[in-house]
Structure 1
Amino acid sequence: MAESAYSIVLSNVNTLAIRETTLLCGVTLEVEFLKDELKRLQGFLRDADSKRRLGDEDIVVLVSQIRDVGYEADNAIEGVDHLHKRNRLKKGFMGAIARYARLPSDLTTLLNVRVEIERIKRKISEIAESANRLKIVDLGNIPIENAHVDDEFQLDYRKHQNFEEIVLVGFEGEYEEIMEKLVYTEKSLSTISIVAIGGAGKTALARKVFTSFRVQEHFRKTAWVTVSQKYKGIDLLKHIMKQIMGSGDESIDKLNEYEVAQKIHDFLLQTKCLVVLDDVWETDTWEQLNRSIRAFPDAANGSRILITTRKDIANNVQMPIHAHPLKKLDEEKSWHLLSSKALPSYRRSVIHDVDEFEKLGRKLAKKCDGLPLALAVLGGYLSKNLNAQEWSDILLDWPSTRNEQMVRNIVARSYKDLPNHCLRSCFLYIASYPKDYIIDVPRLIKLWIAEGFIPHIPKHKLEETARKYVAELAQRSLVEVVETSRAHGCIETIRIHDILHDWCAEEARQDGFLDVKNETTGQVGAPSSSNNLVSYRSSFQSFSNEILPATTLVRTLFGFELESASIPKLRFLRVLNIEDSTLKDFSTVIGGCIHLRFLRLGHCEGVVLPSTIGQLLYLQTIDLRDSYLESQVPKSLWDIPSLRNVYLDDGFSPPPPAKSVGLHHQELQTLFLGISHVGTKWCYHDMVIFLGQMNQLTSLSLMIFPMPTEVFNLFANMPHLVDITLVEFGVLDKLPHEFPQSVRRLVLYADVIRQDPMPILEKLPCLVVLKLQGYEGKTMSCSAQGFPQLQELELHRFSVEEWRTEEGTMAKLSILTLWECEKMVKLCEELLDLSYLNHVTLAERRGSISHLQNLWRARHSESKLFEELPHGEEALPRGSSASIWITPLKASRCKEHWKPSAPPVSTAQQSPPST
């Protein structure tokens, strides 16, 4: 793995070295020589990296030295490159001097670089001598790994199941039984425990139950917290409180354990809740949560506690407890699960001797001892190695380990089988996130690009290659698919199983790739051996230190739930991702991070950006959504030419003069602006001019109150847009006739739309997802052949009494959602005639729900097509794959549901999203 990290660094050095000679300001020859020397070291590293695991201390030191010198060379060369970039952007007389002459400060920098390069060259010579002494072979002539990956999963991801769906293959009965205990039994408080060893599927089963429609509608509030081996009772209680009550006016973090438990107690007395305690290891966990006061009272209102655990804790919970030990899958179910991954139906047709594979596969399935996780990961590996001899060799070499260690061995095999070092780096990088974290894939891709993990492949965009990498990991079951994007046909969110997360953390630390630290558990994944490398990437989770103990050479820093943390001066920082934290003295540090590529501060306090933010000339992504800014984002931000993705809420300065904008933002692809109001500092005219020059955008999200209608004029100069979100207009007389023909997803909210929007929007040839709000006309018309690609339609506050549809319109529509469209009763009566629909949601206030339910009863009393569930809040079909939900609209579900382009990212302790 050290060789993988080194290859990424060498790639960056090579990119800098091949630019024009003026870029390196007179040190070009030195850099070319340095590049060749670094490449020579890579040959030694390939052999040394493989021998390091044998435990030779001298080889461990050598590997560390080779990696370190690569990073040092990268930093030195990029420092000069930054000097060149900065001089090119200077304006006026001093700018001309800086571009065509050498200022004294520049000459000093160049001198220091030459000295640094000479030092690095001497260090390389010493390393080469050590390699020869240790008899390390130069393997520099080995062909470089292919950066491409198979396109199969990208094309056929809908044919594959995620882990939660796989689990139900063997546990359908347990699912129904647990659901019965949660929803339809006694009113007194009770606990349901799912008991099994690691990898047996207990968390996935609990999550499937938790996210089900019936559970989410039955309980007024729900909470999901992950306990794990070591925990703090007060932290768990605070996470529960935040989910069921919200933070309110009083800061939860300042409350002591007794105060938090008391508030939860009082709230549960009045509210029916479900609390999930996932991954409970200790039998006294329940006692620890209730030691100061009984936080979970029996209010006889049907509240429930759902626990997943590896141990029987029935004797330690002072309430009725229903234990559900998960049995291992039998041989037939094991084979069914394995074959669904290894030999999916669409691939069987191209396999010549299916019977031989099936014979070997059944033997391999039996070896997995009925563990769903082992079967899923092994199946993913086998699907990439459809070779009977390979399957036979795996069977012969099967280790004697069992249970979790067996799963880890299978993961290690699949990891080594990944097609290139870039993909291996991407996989280990996921350990940066806390356990059970729901990972936003578009954001993860931006991180991978900032790290340099995604190679430049001719005729391929970086984002396209990265999406294929995600798909590859998903097909191998190394990550779990949580959600896919209907509009863009790709994976939207993922998570990783706890066992795989532990394996990644340990492997990453052992290789010096990543160091994960938690204040409760210490270093996560720390190996038993002392032979580990110093890491250049760190992830701090739930830390309260005043100053994070990060080395000054660190290149990547993650932080989750940091209490009043100060970030040290990190001169060579490339990636900074901090969430749910309070920062101190942030502005004094960030301005000096000239190498920074990625900056995300999510739900953070104490955020102040200095005026020198414009000097971060490599910055690709800045994301400050949902953070409290104590001062405005300086206008110098817009001077950064490398910006690709910008996400800003209230608190940023007006744009620079329009004449200079177009020169600086040729790379900008994604722009998210949330503005509560447009005031004197930013008039409509200036904003439209500012945005209109960003002609390379593929995603535009504007949350402005009120939204100026002039924004429609932007589209004439934005031919590449595929994702548009505009929230919220006041009164729109009509929509413009010209939208970008490439748009696949359109969200447009207004208080009032007076003219039928469908005749205009139905002509968009690529539109897949459409969400509209505010149309007040009596009729709505869709012509034949209209909306040729539309799959999902969501309407909010439409007062339509008649929907006229010609035959052939919306031929691919499968999901229809109506929010507060009470007058669309005639539409409700015609829904079943739309045979291509497979999911319809009618979300209304309770006053109109009863009428809709009566309507369904009257229409289908004879056919018995619909059956009302016992709690009376939904109607479900029988004997049909379609589903029509009549849902009472909860206030909590209405609030801010219009934020589709800024999906909330769950932390490790937050509940999974509902399906």
Structure 2
Amino acid sequence: MAQSAVSTVLGTVGSLAVQETTFLCAVNLEVGLLKDELMRLKAYLKDVDSKWRSGNARVAVLVSQIRDAAYEAQNIIEAADHMAKRNRLKKGFMGAISRYARLPTDLVALRKIGVEIQHVRRKLNEIFASAEKLNINLDNNVLVEDESPQDDGPIHQNSEDDVVMVGFEDEHEEIVDKLVDNDYLLSVVSIVAMGGAGKTTLARKVYTSSRVKEHFDTLAWVTVSQKFKGVDLLKDIMKQITGHKDESVDQMKEYEVGKNIMKQITGHKDESVDQMKEYEVGKKINEFLSQKRYLVVLDDVWETDTWEKLNRTIKVFPDETNSSRVLLTTRKEDVANHVQMPTHVHHLKKLDEEKSWDLFSSKALPPYKRYAIRDVDEFEKLGRKLAKKCDGLPLALGVLGGYLSKNLNAQIWSDILSDWPATKDGQMMSVILARSYKDLPNHHLRSCLLYFAAFPEDYEIHVPHLIELWIAESFIPDTPNHTLEETARSYVIELAQRSLVQVVDRSTTHGWIDRIRIHDILHDWCIQEARQDVFLDTSNKTVDQAGASSSSSDNLISYRFSFQTSSYQILPATPNVRSLLGFKLSSVSLPKLRFLRVLCIEDSTLKDFSSVIGRCIHLRLLRLRYCEGVALPSSIGKLLYLQTIDLRGTILESVVPNSLWDIPTLRHVYLRNCFFSPPPPARSVRLQPKELQSFALLLDPVGTDFRCHDMMIFLGQLNQLTTFCLFMHPNIPAEVLNIFANMPHLVDISLGQFDVLDKLPAEFPQSVRSLFLSADVIKQDPMPILEKLPCLVVLRLWGYKGQTMCCSSQGFPRLQELLLGSFSTEVWRMEEGAMPKLSHLTLQSCKKISKLPVGLLHLPSLDHLELAFMTQISEDDITLNELRRKGCEVYIHIRSLGIVNLPHLMSTLCLLQICGAR
């Protein structure tokens, strides 16, 4: 990945202000010369990388030297640039001196920078000399790869990798039938097949099917994998079953429900679960599942004794003779047959030739490409032979088909067929993956793919979070007429088209891919390739095994590390580490990370965080989600390159320092349950983050020095926002609505909870696509205002208490999803022509709507209606039955929870989900 390293450095150097300031004086010349040397080096790297992959050991050493020199150059140049930025931000008398003169400390630092630059240049000269000795092509006319992939067609998956379901429709129905049959005993349905055959995808289709959701009271899904702890799986199951459906709180008193909701609002972990011993968790699960019909999915089980390990201290899963089920997926038949209860083993067959061709052709020759192919018959003839070679494995068919769709050349197809390796299935899959990886259009995209090695196996990845990571890592190049986020999304589309990622979900609001995962076979391949390329190293060792990282070579040290479910006391990492990711780390201390650019840690407890973070001046992304032991020091303001700070789910042990808002590069800020006090007006007018795009704040101001007026001034400065989420307990000041007049770029708005709103503002930003708004009381009909928003796609609204509501014939031209909660409307008039694209309508706790409006029958796109706690609407409702007759799916949840303020609690949970809570 030397080419990626040098290109990253060059892109960063080009964006720095180091050459625009007279402060750095003679260092400017040195920086310019260094940049020229790096440009010269970049032209050689294509030949270098090809020789490295051919196994030339001497070239491997050279590539390591190139990468080291490039990163060292970036560190030096950024240190100089940081000095200039820091002095420009200084206030008062010393600030004036530092801007127009050179302090002794600065002169020393500048001299050191100059010496370091000369040192790196000497290294580069030695690299050029070594390249000549190794006969590496030094032709400066080497072609440079395209910077971005070309999106040459749409993605047709609407949910988790639909194309993989080709050929499995009958098996899907068979497994669902077995799960919902009338056999009253607790039993197991096992799906058995080799890796890449589609077990997990099929199981998820079953798990999310409407028949299964309606049949079972409670559902839970856990991935077992090869390394697991029984107590962790049980805790995961308990958290899911106690929060999966509304029925889970049927037995609770109002106080208990409110307490649990507030834990989610404030980010508190459920201590009663996290601190339980295995026996206690098992007992609680057993008690909760008693008298309930449940489905538990155990995905990717490897060992025959897994069931015994889960039930070793107590019988966790009761048999209430109510048709409860366990769904299990495994590669081993003896695992499926070992469970001591009635078992149905479903052997997932490989696809036959015709079904293999259906799947392969849907990827390699999709309809939108066929029309441009002159000789389709020739491609079909070759394609059928290639599909047969994949031996009926959906993963191989999908990835190879995705690769060939980008190479519609008959000679390429023929060459692959003639050179097909005579290997076993696992080796065949590695060859296919390597071919698709090398075919990616640029090294940026190859870096993005290998980066999946940083995540735990079976981890569901939220694409906006992934994009923030990619940008912080400088994997995303500047592309004319496109933002970095747009280019990154095109990368996600490219990987999905090649079946290198599985699409889990799409955003209704925007239409883009929202959540993805990668197959465990591809995950293993990425880990191996990332280590071989010294791109990223992973570790999931326990504390007893802690020590040196399992790098591919003792002489080649990765600059990125991912620690997963480890128990390190102090994370082992080299001083030059640039990226550090951690998942479920217990009681860890961060080492001194002077050159860190990405810190992403989840579900962990940190020690001495505040004493380390202020020195990480190169940091781009700080994501600490559901962590403990976190306090932000005032030195956070020194991180002048910070783009993203994400603390959702983390309870801060300090006030958010005002110095955070001095950072000029901030793009995304997510704060939850923090001691936040807005900067005073004198400071607000000097706010630096003019590029801030996303701001989410979930705040309980009780006990803090909260100043509403200062908050309004502060928010008014953030006029470049596209995403704004604000939750305050108990209520948001109504004045917040006035800030929208100064936010013309807003796309996503989430606000809750207001007390009383007389009316909504006359104008919302015309760019809004998603709006969530919750209030105890909205007095005036909001529809005449909201229906005029030309881009609105998703609307979730709570609290209108007027008697009538009217949607006009031209209203809501693009609305697709509508939720109305806690409405007291007696008359709902819907004129013909309103909401022409509405597909999903949900009504919750709208007690005075006794019958559905006839206008719903005029909605041409409505195919999903959900009624929750709407007991006053009869099953014989004329409009309801007519909708069913027209094919609209209707879901009715009629059970009452007996909670006084249920609408408030439900809207709060909805808002938490929108703002990134679990």
* TM-score, structure 2 as length reference: 0.91
1:808-823 correspondence runs (5 A): 808-823=833-848
Which of 792, 799, 805 lines up with 1:780 in the alignment? Answer: 805
Equivalent residue, structure 1, for 2:746? 721
1:280, distance to aligned residue in structure 2 (A)? 1.1
> Is the Cα–Cα contact under 8 Å of residues 678 and 684 in structure 1 kept in the other structure?
no
Which of 171, 176, 181 lines up with 2:178 in the alignment? Answer: 181
Q: 1:233 to 1:386 in 2, by over 3 A?
A: same
> Is the Cα–Cα contact under 8 Å of residues 160 and 475 in structure 1 kept in the other structure?
no
Equivalent residue, structure 2, for 1:908? none
1:492, distance to aligned residue in structure 2 (A)? 1.2
Return the alpha-carbon distance in structure 2 between the equivalents of residues 468 and 289 of structure 1.
Answer: 43
Q: Does 1:341 align with 2:341?
A: no
Q: Does 1:640 align with 2:663?
A: yes
Q: 1:397 to 1:904 in 2, by over 3 A?
A: farther
Mean Cα deviation higher: 284-293 or 701-710: 284-293
> Is the Cα–Cα contact under 8 Å of residues 833 and 858 in structure 2 kept in the other structure?
no
> 1:238-292: CA deviations, max 9, x gaps?
3323333479854544444444434434443454332211111222222333334
Q: 1:746 to 1:516 in 2, by over 3 A?
A: same
> 1:829-873: CA deviations, max 9, x gaps?
65444333122211226x55xx533437x975xx9x85xxxxxxx
Equivalent residue, structure 2, for 1:463? 485
Task: Name the aligned partner's letter for residue 613 of structure 1.
Answer: I
Task: Name the aligned partner's letter for residue 466 of structure 2.
Answer: L
Q: Does 1:669 align with 2:682?
A: no
Equivalent residue, structure 1, for 2:400? 378
Return the alpha-carbon distance in structure 2 between the equivalents of residues 585 and 222 of structure 1.
Answer: 39
SS in 1 for 2:910: coil
Equivalent residue, structure 1, for 2:451? 429
Return the alpha-carbon distance in structure 2 between the equivalents of residues 665 and 695 of structure 1.
Answer: 10
1:509, distance to aligned residue in structure 2 (A)? 1.3
> 1:732-780: CA deviations, max 9, x gaps?
1111111111111111111111111111111111111111111122221
Equivalent residue, structure 1, for 2:212? 215
Equivalent residue, structure 2, for 1:872? none
> Is the Cα–Cα contact under 8 Å of residues 778 and 801 in structure 1 kept in the other structure?
yes
1:86-165 correspondence runs (5 A): 86-153=86-153, 156-157=154-155, 159-160=156-157, 164-165=161-162
Return the alpha-carbon distance in structure 2 between the equivalents of residues 46 and 889 of structure 1.
Answer: 64
Q: Does 1:508 align with 2:530?
A: yes
Return the alpha-carbon distance in structure 1 between the equivalents of residues 23 and 494 of structure 2.
Answer: 38
Q: Does 1:769 align with 2:766?
A: no
Equivalent residue, structure 2, for 1:898? 911
Which of 277, 282, 289 lines up with 2:303 in the alignment? Answer: 282
> Is the Cα–Cα contact under 8 Å of residues 818 and 840 in structure 2 kept in the other structure?
yes
Equivalent residue, structure 2, for 1:855? 877
> 1:18-63: CA deviations, max 9, x gaps?
7314264431111122222233333444333222234333222221
Equivalent residue, structure 1, for 2:568? 545
1:651, distance to aligned residue in structure 2 (A)? 2.0
1:900, distance to aligned residue in structure 2 (A)? 4.7
Please provide the CA RMSD for this pair.
2.6
Q: Does 1:234 align with 2:231?
A: yes
Please list every run of 5 or more consecutive structure 2 residues that lacks an aligned counterpart in the other structure.
244-267, 898-904
1:687-706 correspondence runs (5 A): 687-705=711-729, 706=731
> Is the Cα–Cα contact under 8 Å of residues 769 and 793 in structure 2 kept in the other structure?
yes
Return the alpha-carbon distance in structure 1 between the equivalents of residues 192 and 77 of structure 2.
Answer: 55
Equivalent residue, structure 2, for 1:167? 164
> Is the Cα–Cα contact under 8 Å of residues 18 and 80 in structure 2 kept in the other structure?
no
1:454-853 correspondence runs (5 A): 454-519=476-541, 530=553, 533-663=556-686, 664-677=688-701, 681-705=705-729, 706-827=731-852, 831-844=856-869, 847-848=871-872, 852-853=874-875
Task: Name the aligned partner's letter for residue 89 of structure 1.
Answer: L
SS in 1 for 2:837: coil
> 1:80-128: CA deviations, max 9, x gaps?
1111111000011100111111112211211221222222223223333
> Is the Cα–Cα contact under 8 Å of residues 763 and 786 in structure 1 kept in the other structure?
yes
Q: 1:859 to 1:251 in 2, by over 3 A?
A: closer
Return the alpha-carbon distance in structure 1 between the equivalents of residues 435 and 565 of structure 2.
Answer: 32
1:579, distance to aligned residue in structure 2 (A)? 0.6
Return the alpha-carbon distance in structure 2 between the equivalents of residues 685 and 616 of structure 1.
Answer: 28
Which of 411, 435, 453 lines up with 2:475 in the alignment? Answer: 453
Q: Does 1:440 align with 2:462?
A: yes
> Is the Cα–Cα contact under 8 Å of residues 5 and 513 in structure 1 kept in the other structure?
no
Return the alpha-carbon distance in structure 2 between the equivalents of residues 14 and 683 of structure 1.
Answer: 41
Please list every run of 5 or more consecutive structure 1 residues that lacks an aligned counterpart in the other structure.
867-876, 906-915
Q: 1:662 to 1:768 in 2, by over 3 A?
A: farther
Q: 1:274 to 1:114 in 2, by over 3 A?
A: same
Which of 347, 358, 370 lines up with 2:380 in the alignment? Answer: 358
Return the alpha-carbon distance in structure 2 between the equivalents of residues 678 and 229 of structure 1.
Answer: 46
SS in 2 for 1:207: helix
Task: Name the aligned partner's letter for residue 786 of structure 1.
Answer: G
Q: Does 1:73 align with 2:95?
A: no
1:527, distance to aligned residue in structure 2 (A)? 9.8
> Is the Cα–Cα contact under 8 Å of residues 560 and 578 in structure 1 kept in the other structure?
yes
Q: 1:571 to 1:713 in 2, by over 3 A?
A: same
User: Identity across aligned pairs (percent)?
Assistant: 62
Q: 1:821 to 1:403 in 2, by over 3 A?
A: farther
> 1:482-514: CA deviations, max 9, x gaps?
111122221111111111111111111111111
Equivalent residue, structure 2, for 1:36? 36
Equivalent residue, structure 1, for 2:260? none
Mean Cα deviation higher: 744-753 or 221-230: 221-230
Return the alpha-carbon distance in structure 1 between the equivalents of residues 736 and 86 of structure 2.
Answer: 33
Aligned residues: 882
> 1:640-666: CA deviations, max 9, x gaps?
111111111232432323344354121
> 1:333-391: CA deviations, max 9, x gaps?
11111122222223323332222222222222111111111111122222222222222
Q: 1:94 to 1:21 in 2, by over 3 A?
A: closer
Task: Name the aligned partner's letter for residue 595 of structure 2.
Answer: F
Equivalent residue, structure 2, for 1:913? none
Mean Cα deviation higher: 5-14 or 438-447: 5-14
Q: 1:893 to 1:513 in 2, by over 3 A?
A: farther
> Is the Cα–Cα contact under 8 Å of residues 25 and 80 in structure 1 kept in the other structure?
no
Equivalent residue, structure 1, for 2:261? none
> Is the Cα–Cα contact under 8 Å of residues 607 and 629 in structure 1 kept in the other structure?
yes
* TM-score, structure 1 as length reference: 0.92
> 1:562-611: CA deviations, max 9, x gaps?
11111111011101111111111111111111111101111111111111
Return the alpha-carbon distance in structure 1 between the equivalents of residues 224 and 608 of structure 2.
Answer: 32
Return the alpha-carbon distance in structure 1 between the equivalents of residues 416 and 539 of structure 2.
Answer: 35
> Is the Cα–Cα contact under 8 Å of residues 43 and 144 in structure 2 kept in the other structure?
no
Which of 359, 367, 383 lines up with 2:389 in the alignment? Answer: 367
1:285-300 correspondence runs (5 A): 285-300=306-321
Equivalent residue, structure 2, for 1:309? 330
Return the alpha-carbon distance in structure 1 between the equivalents of residues 387 and 620 of structure 2.
Answer: 45
SS in 2 for 1:825: coil
> Is the Cα–Cα contact under 8 Å of residues 197 and 403 in structure 1 kept in the other structure?
no
Return the alpha-carbon distance in structure 1 between the equivalents of residues 128 and 277 of structure 2.
Answer: 58
Q: 1:676 to 1:453 in 2, by over 3 A?
A: same
SS in 2 for 1:734: coil
> Is the Cα–Cα contact under 8 Å of residues 732 and 752 in structure 2 kept in the other structure?
yes
Q: 1:264 to 1:888 in 2, by over 3 A?
A: same
> 1:177-216: CA deviations, max 9, x gaps?
2212222332322111100001100000111111223333
Q: 1:772 to 1:530 in 2, by over 3 A?
A: same
